[in-house]
Amino acid sequence: MLTLGGCGNGGTGSSVAAQSSTEAAEAVPSGKSTESAASKQSSSESVKQEETKDAGETVTVTDHAGRTVTVKKDPQRVAILDILPLPATLTVFLNSAKNIVAMEPASMNAAKNGILAELYPEILNADTDIMNGDDVNVEALMALNPDVVFYSGRNEELAKKLENSGLTCVAVSPTKWNYDCIKTYDNWISLLGQIFPSAEAAKKTEESSARAREVEEKIKEKTDGLKEGEKKKVLFLFRYDENGIITSGAHFFGQWWCDASGGINVAKEVPAENTAAKITMEQVYKWNPDVIFITNFTQTLPEDLYHNAIGSDDWSTVEAVKKKQVYKLPLGSYRTYTPGIDTPMTLEWMAKTLYPDLFPEFDVKKDVKAYYKDLYGIALTDAQFEAMYHPERAAGRMNK
């Protein structure tokens, strides 16, 4: 089996597909992937521990781009690029952020505006000056001497830069599992578990996935009985500002959220994938959604739609606006539109928001507090809960 000391030595590197260079696409890279034979190997086949005289104990993994990479076991200095939810995921996985030496400004901004920095203040020590706008400053990154760099396996340009630098890097995919938040998260955790086998807190992330499946099944049991006309029509606003409206078509996380919560994605037929799904107000009028969810990848808030505050767009005739059914997605450990530790509680909140009478057993505040108590061992205050489920505009900033 060929092993790599860094990104630049692997023959499989050319299989990494191109990704949009927009800020939003950095969070959830676009493009479909082809799962290689190597990536289908079981953990026992794809991971082996070995001793080297110079590097100490290492592990060999098959990453999400199909690369075979040799990495320090339990690396102490980690940089994370172009896969914005991963700093939060790794922090919870390790129950510490001290290993993270660098991340993107958009990840840091979510940590500062969410609860992550309150729980793990050491995350604020991570360097974000490795970015020059949308470009990585490779020299600054190398100066941090990371043991490993995690990056989006769909970003070919970034992959080439890291290859040429000689840094040890591991591809993590947000798209490989058809934007299924639970499956994607499970595969992130599986890869992290291979690289950080000594992580004592890892069991909590596994419990989170089990809870997410449990909530998903409860919702499915009830929403499967709804007739087509009884299901709520949902529109996701991934990004909305003076430059236009980006939604979620069938090939983005919004489709999974709709399917899992029992809603109908009105933009399902939009052929564009990921952040390329740009739409017009005319399409919104035609779809006339019952409910609108706004992500934290944009600074737009529900009141901006209620007051027609953006450009010349008129939302006043849209059903969701008329009935005040426009909601900002929660901001927990990270922006909850993407896979993460908050998926089970976000799913419960979304189903309760869409069908309050169908889920009387869902007491969102009580359940979220219990979840955080079990996960982090903290008593979440009412103020912290409100901040999570009514995030402020600043949470949508992608740059410094």
pLDDT in tens, 198-216: 988 788 888 899 999 999 9
If asked whether residues 195 and 271 sit together in one domain, one would say no
* Per-residue pLDDT at 163: 81
Q: Which residue has the higher pLDDT, 264 or 1?
A: 264
Q: Which residues contact 267 (CB under 8 A, 6 or more apart)?
A: 235, 236, 247, 248, 249, 254, 277, 279, 283, 287
- Whole-number average pLDDT of the chain: 87
Residues 38 and 173 in one domain: yes
- What is the total count of domains within the chain? 2
Asked if residue 174 lies in contact with residue 180, where contact means CB atoms within 8 angstroms, the answer is: no
Structural domain boundaries enclosing 293: 207-396
Contact 250, 32 (CB under 8 A): no
| Domain identity same for 143 and 224 | no
pLDDT at 46 over 50: no
The answer to whether residue 1 sits within a structural domain is no
Say whether both 194 and 72 belong to one domain.
yes
Could you tell me the pLDDT band of residue 276, with boundaries at 50, 70 and 90?
A: confident
117 in helix, strand or coil?
Answer: helix
Q: Which of 164, 199, 234 is the last residue of a domain?
A: 199
Q: Mark which of 151, 171, 199 sits at the end of a domain.
A: 199
**Which pLDDT belongs to residue 146?**
97
pLDDT tens string 207-263: 899 999 999 999 999 999 999 899 999 999 999 999 999 999 999 999 999 999 999
pTM score: 0.86
The reply to whether 113 and 87 lie within a common domain is yes
Q: Are residues 223 and 187 in the same domain?
A: no
DSSP 229: G
Handedness of CA 35, 36, 37, 40 (dihedral sign): negative
pLDDT at 273: 80
Q: How many CA atoms lie within 13 A of 349 on its CB side?
A: 26
- Domain boundary residue among 178, 199, 220? 199
Predicted local confidence at residue 400, as pLDDT: 66
| Residue 151 CB neighbours (<10 A) | 28
Task: Count Cα neighbours of 274 within 13 Å in the Cβ-side half-sphere.
Answer: 22
How confident is the model over 371-385, as a mean pLDDT? 93
Kindly report, residue by residue over 178-198, the tens digit of the pLDDT. Answer: 999 999 999 999 999 999 999
Domain identity same for 289 and 342: yes
Instruction: For residues 376 and 355, state if they share a domain.
Output: yes
Based on the fold, state whether residues 131 and 218 are members of the same structural domain: no
Instruction: Answer yes or no: is pLDDT of 303 > 60.
Output: yes
**CATH number of the structural domain spanning residue 109:** 3.40.50.1980
* Same domain? 385 vs 263: yes
Of 54-58, 160-164, 366-370, highest mean pLDDT: 366-370
Give residue 351's pLDDT.
98
For residue 2, being part of any structural domain is answered with no
